[in-house]
Structure 1
Amino acid sequence: MSSFHFLLHLTIFLLVFHQKFSFPSKQTTLFLPLKTTLGRPPLTFSRNSELSSAAATNKLGSHHNVTLTVSLSVGSPPQNVTMVLDTGSELSWLHCKKTPNLNSVFTPELSKSYIHIPCASPICKTRTRDLLVPASCEPNNKMCHVAVSYADASSIEGTLAYENFVIGSSIRPGFLFGCMDSGFSSNSDEDSKETGLMGMNRGSLSFVSQMGFPKFSYCISGFDSSGVLLLGDTRFSWLKTLNYTPLIQISDPLPYFDRVAYTVQLEGIKVGNKMLDLPRSAFLPDHTGAGQTMVDSGTQFTFLMGPVYTALRNEFLQQTREVLRVFEDPNFVFQEPMDLCYQVDESPGIEAFVIDHHHQQNVWMEFDLVKSRVGFAEIRCDIAGQQLEMGL
């Protein structure tokens, strides 16, 4: 069988402007290694056993649910935890109840600095105002009950609490987080490997908001499992001048518009060297707020709304018509079902464009909360990580 290499460039265009910025004279910057965790091993297939029972197994490099994780310490004395970095979420939370399927949990009983938030506290209502599910009162212990849900139908709930979060030598006492004790995961085997989630959106409860950093940056390597997360300014001689795009904000609340997400204006999509023939209105939110474009590190794949996805799919098929072939070899038996196309049910559908972390690989991403903008520049993220480790 002949082999070939076909490279398809899918480019997402944003409205950008070039601007150099001044830095505060005194600004603390914290550096954390960012790890890419592969959720499951590669798919495997082997020759039909009737033809060759001793044939070696071949592996396809395909992974599902790749997550970005950071490690830090929580509590007094500190307990090591691993958290998924998610710019699409607000509430940071940790698994607090040991179950057979969880590999890592935070044990509040072992911490002297852990404090439950009672539902009678004003904090239970005022600090959770941006959460999609309103906080409630647990009937058995009168503690502040919080619950969050995600687009893949996963959900988790527990108690709002204070605790010390430690990053390097910096301690943030009185950090508000969710101490979760129950939930449902659509990928329980994979999600059980992490202790919790680090919410990094613009909400008042997010990790970056509570830590008080005016900006943060991350860089995801496309060459290995390494990456970096920086909390604070980014003044490095080896980093190119960043291009910036403003964050979109609305004054009136709309049912399907996430006001604390990192929403940018999508200007167009290019497949290979061809720009999709779509009106600008195709990338604008409608009167309900559906159709915003969000930058989300917690999502592996980019999601497009129906008409835009259809246009991209048609152009992709047009450009690959003479290259791609259906794999029809009866001598191979696949371990799992495979399909040429990626299918999503039309109902309930999606309500937003989402730029995933695959499209952010080897791009320095800066989120400026003070100036309400997102900056980016191409860079080898594995090399950037090495520079930071050397203190350059």
Structure 2
Amino acid sequence: MNIVYLHTHDTGRYIEPYGYAVPTPNLMQLATEGVLFRQAYCAGPTCSPSRAGLLTGMAPHSAGMLGLAHRGARLHDYNQHLVPYLKRNGYETVLCGIQHEAPEAAMIGYDHILGNPDYDMSNFSFRSVEWDEENANAAASYIRQQHDKPFFLSVGLFNTHLNFPDPDPGIQRDYVAMPYQFHDCAENREQWAAYMTSAQAADRCAGIVLEALKDSGLWEDTLIIFTTDHGLPFPRMKCSLFDSGIGVSLIIRAPHIERNGKAVDGLVSHLDVFPTICDIAGLRPPSWLQGYSLVPYLEGRSTSVRSSVYAEINHHVDYEPMRAVRTERYKYIRNFGECTYLPRNLDASMHGSFLLENGFLETEKPAEMLFDLYLDPVERTNLAQCSTYSEVRASMEKELLDWMEATNDPLLHGDVGII
């Protein structure tokens, strides 16, 4: 069985399969042919920790990824990455596009690196649409080749990371509906039109890869996983432990599992992807995995494989240590650092500038936060000091600390250091 891991930057769930008016027809088609996970969450809402969690099956702190790979963070042991594991089990491993788990892709150990691997997120003139299309076509060419053994192909798209391409002229800015976190004004509608354009570009590239699988006759022999690393690149989203930061898209199409077009409401962590691959491919899972196979979801045998998901922040640009546990109903966030938002951890954007200019840095960032997600799904009413919820808060705090101990979280012993 082949495996195609298709991933974007900073998309959250803002695509068509989740009901948003962001035209992404290829991903919508994939969702109707696979399984859509409505409650999937990353292990850390910044680029490298999120990807490290998914590709090692461990919490980022357990894997060693305490910050961004291009700023010096790295895994404790790259042999625990999915790629060397699959190589040891007879797979040809291929990277096309972005990886963000190592300072250099060669450290991971891919057999082949295709297309153009060089990109610069700080370059405002970087042509992300053309770069993604070049890599998508390179991935499609590889798929259409003859293969002597099963392959694992990682197709990493730059979109929807900032800086977005110029808005498509066909998008009528005055008629777009933005996320609830956005104030409705012309400036923010322009920003959202640019995001929609970036998402459309990512979808076109996904379509190139998916079409190649169908044209080559490999569709029925390939496990397809589509996801993103974390939420949108705006305040209270990326680099935050609110659902808008840790909530991610996840679509899985598994060969010979007939669940086409079904949605799953049970909790899912990115840590569950590695054990799911092992289960579907018939491989013995390695000892370090901390997640659970999603095959019971895929086969419709269960509505729950886990009762909680966990997430963390350590370093983005500045040090911002935080931990969270989320159940179906409750979210508990513990802030181990400063009770203030850090401007260098907020990606530069029009929407971000709008918030900063209007006092965002003066808004409250408490040491503890508790949310009742049934009554407050947008996480605006902090119940951590509410006597009615004191037993819930104590239970959630204990669960979080127990998880930190079980996963040898270095934050229990003090600051984890500056990258």
**Structure whose CA Rg is larger:** 1
TM-score interval, normalised by the smaller of the two chains: under 0.3
Higher helix share: 2
TM-score (norm 2): 0.25
The answer to which structure has the higher strand fraction is 1
What is the TM-score with the length of structure 1 in the denominator?
0.26
